[in-house]
Amino acid sequence: MMPSIRIALMSIKLVMRTKVALFFTFLFPLIFLFVYSGIFARGNPEAVVYMFGPVVTLNIMGSGFFGLGLQSVMQRERGSLRRYRLAPIGPGSMVLSSLLANYLLELPTIGLLLFCAMGFFHMPLQINLLTLLILVTVGTFAFAGFGLTIASVANTMQEAQVYNNVAWFTLLFLSGVTVPLPMLPQWIQRFAAFLPATYMVTSFQAIMVGGQSLFDHRAELLVLILSGTSGLLFAWKLFRWEKEEKISTRGKLLSITFIVPFLVMGIWMNERGNLAATWRGTFSLMSHPHLGPGQHDSPVDGIMLNDFESADEPEVLLKTWQVSTGANAGGRSLGEFEVITPGAAGTGHALRFKGFVESTPGFDRGFVTARYPFTLPDGAPSLRGIQFEVRGDTRLFQVKFMPSDPTLPTPTLTFIPDSEWQGVRLPAAWIATSNPSSHKNVLVLEFRVEGPPGAFQLDIDEIRFY
C-alpha cells in the first residue's frame, strides 16, 4: 500500500508542475461550469443546480478517460513503467497509485466547482456535503475503472484514443451530460439507461433538484461501484509494463464483460417503465425550488399543489375532487378516483381518474368531468401557470384552468395521453395579478373526458404552479 501512496503523491506533485496538466485538471472544468451555468442556465441559480451534476460528471469522465486512461498508455509507450518494474512493486501498486492520484486530484476540483457555482451563480447548496462526497467518490471510481479498462485493452496510444473517443462522445451526448435527457428522443432516452454517465447525471439531478436521497439511487451507485471494481481488476490482471507486450485475444474478450453491469442496469431501468417521466419530472423541477417536508401535502400552501403523497389522501380526495357527468345522459356516465402506486417521476403515489363514458340520448357522445377547486398560494406574482404529469389511455382529454373572475379568460388544452408519464403546462398569465389573500379567489382545475361511449383512465400527478 505504501508504494502506491508514494507514487500517487509523486504523480500529484508532477501534475502540479505541468502547466498543461494543471489547465486540464483545474481550469478546464471551470470553463464548462461557466458555459453551462452562464449560457445554458442563463445564470438562473435553480437551473445551475440542475446543471451542476452534468458538469461534475463531465469532469469525472474527463479525468477517468484522459487523465487516467491515456496517461497509463502514454507511460507504457514512453517506457517510464520499465524503471518501476525493476523495483519490488507489482502491477497492483501501479494501478492503485493511478486510482489514488486521480481521486485526490478530483476532490479539490469538485470543491472548486462547488465554490464557483455558489459564489458566482448563487447556486443553492441543495445537497449534503457527505452525499456529494459519496457521489463524487463512486463516480470517480467508476470512470477510473472505465479509463483503466480502455488502457488495459489498447495496445497503442492511437488505439486508446479511438476507444476513448467512442466512449467519450457517446457518454457526452447521450447521457444527459450535455443535452438534458428529457430533450432527447424517447429511443435515445431508453438507450441512455445503459450508460454509466446517465446514472451519475440523473442521480445528481434527482438528489440536488428532486430532493431525493442517495438510498433512492442505490441501484445506480451499486452498478457504478461494480464497474469501477471490475475495471480495477481488469487493469490489474491485464497490466502491461512494456509497450512490446500485446494483449491477448482472450484478454480482450474478458474485458468485454465490463459492460455487463450496464446492460443489466439498462434493462432494469427500461423495465421500470417510467424512466422518461422520471427524468422529465426532475427537468421540470429545474425552475422551482425543492419543497421541504410538510410543504407538499397542502394543496394551497407553496408551489406544489398536489402530489398525492399524503397518507390521508383517499379522504382528502373525496373532499376536494368532484366528479360530474353529463346531465342530459341522466348521470349514466361514471367517474371515480383512486390513489395509485407508484406515481410519476419516481414518486410514491398519483391520482387515477377512471370510469365509463355513456352517450347522451340522441347523441353518440358523452363526457365526465373531474374538478379540483383550490385557492391561490402566496407568491402568486412570480407564477405563470400550472403544470402536471399525466398518462392514460389514448382518449381525448381536456384540461381547463378556470379563474374565479368570470371575466378573465380560461386557458384550455386538449391532449391525448399515452402510457408514459409526460408533463403538461397550462400558461395563465392572470395568476400574477390575482390576489391570493381573497377568500373568494377560488380557482378550479378541470379535467374532462369527452367522446364516444367507453371506458377511460387518466393518471394525474405532481400538480404544481410554475
Partner 1 sequence: MSNEANSAVVRVEGLRKSYGDLAALRGITFEIKAGEVFGLLGPNGAGKTTTIEILEGLRQPDGGVVTVCGMNPGREQAALKERIGAQLQATVLPDKIRVEEALALFASFYRESASIEILLEQFGLAEKRRTFFEKLSGGQKQRLALALAMVNNPELVLLDEPTVGLDAQLRRDIYALIERFREERRTTLLTTHYIEEAERLCDRVAIIDHGQVIALGTPRELVLRSGKGTRIEVSLAKPVSPDRLKQLDAVSDCLEVDGRYILHAQPTALAVAALVRFLEAEGNALLDLHIAQPTLEDVFVEMTGRRMDDQ
The Cα–Cα gap between 71 and 94 comes to 12
Residue nearer to partner 1 on the CB measure, 79 or 427: 79
Stretch that binds partner 1, among 83-91, 161-169, 195-203, 417-425 (CB under 8 A): 83-91
Residue 426, beta-bridge partner list: 386
Based on CB atoms, which residue is closest to partner 1, 23 or 268? 23
18 scored as a contact of partner 1 (CB under 8 A): yes
Question: Taking contact as CB under 8 A, which single stretch among the options 33-41, 76-84, 94-102, 213-221 is the one that binds partner 1?
Answer: 76-84
**Near partner 1 by CB under 8 A, which window of 6-14, 257-265, 269-277, 352-360?**
6-14
Shortest distance (Å) from residue 232 CB to partner 1:
21
Say if CB 421 and CB 442 are below 8 A apart.
no
> From the CB of 149, what's the least distance to partner 1, in Å?
24
157/400 Cα distance (integer angstroms): 61
Q: Does 319 bind partner 1 (CB under 8 A)?
A: no
Residues 6 or more apart whose CB falls under 8 angstroms from that of 396 comprise: 414, 415, 416, 449, 450, 451
Distance of CA 346 to the CA centre of its chain: 11
Residue 80 in contact with partner 1, rule: CB under 8 A? yes
Specify the stretch interacting with partner 1 by CB under 8 A; choose among 74-82, 190-198, 319-327, 367-375: 74-82
Does position 246 bind partner 1 by CB under 8 A? no
Rule CB under 8 A: is residue 13 a binding residue for partner 1?
yes
Among 12, 44, 66, 89, binds partner 1 (CB under 8 A): 89
* 218 is a contact residue toward partner 1 (CB under 8 A): no
The whole-angstrom separation of Cα 150 and Cα 411 is: 55
| Residues that contact partner 1, how many (by CB under 8 A) | 21
Cα gap 127→125, rounded to integer Å: 6
Q: Among 22, 27, 82, 454, which residue sits at the site for partner 1 (rule: CB under 8 A)?
A: 82
| Binding-site member from 20, 42, 88, 440 for partner 1 (CB under 8 A) | 88
**Count of other CB atoms within 10 angstroms of residue 21:** 16
Binder to partner 1 among 3, 211, 342, 373 (CB under 8 A)? 3
Helix 157-174, helix 129-153: angle, nearest 10: 140
Q: Pick from 39, 78, 363, 416: which binds partner 1 (CB under 8 A)?
A: 78
Rounded to 5 degrees, φ, ψ at 28 are -60, -45
CA–CA gap between residue 298 and residue 85 (Å, rounded): 66
Q: Which stretch binds partner 1 (CB under 8 A): 24-32, 87-95, 165-173, 374-382?
A: 87-95
d(CA 156, CA 174): 27
Distance CA 448, CA 102 (A): 57
User: Shortest CA distance to 190 belongs to which of 126, 272, 123?
Assistant: 272
86 binds partner 1 (CB under 8 A): yes
Task: Yes or no: say if 456 and 355 are a contact pair by the CB < 8 Å rule.
Answer: yes
Nearer to partner 1, 13 or 218 (CB): 13
Query: Minimum distance between the CB of residue 242 and partner 1, rounded to whole angstroms?
Result: 8
Nearer CB in complex with partner 1: 10/31 = 10
- CA pair distance 21, 27, nearest whole angstrom: 10
Rounded to 5°, the CA angle 369-375-378 comes to 140
Note whether 79 binds partner 1 by CB under 8 A. yes
Q: In angstroms, what is the minimal distance from the CB of 98 to partner 1?
A: 13
Taking CB under 8 A as the binding criterion, the range among 81-89, 118-126, 383-391, 394-402 that sits at the site for partner 1 is: 81-89
Query: Interface mask (CB under 8 A) for partner 1, residues 30-69, using x and -?
Result: ----------------------------------------
C-beta of 75 vs 333, nearer to partner 1 = 75
What angle is formed at CA 74 by the lines to CA 69 and CA 78, rounded to 5 degrees? 160
Taking the complex as a whole, the smallest distance from the CB of residue 379 to partner 1 amounts, in Å, to 56
Our finding on whether 105 is near partner 1 (CB under 8 A) is: no
Q: Which residues bind partner 1 (CB under 8 A)?
A: 2-3, 6-7, 10, 13-14, 17-18, 78-80, 82-83, 85-90, 241
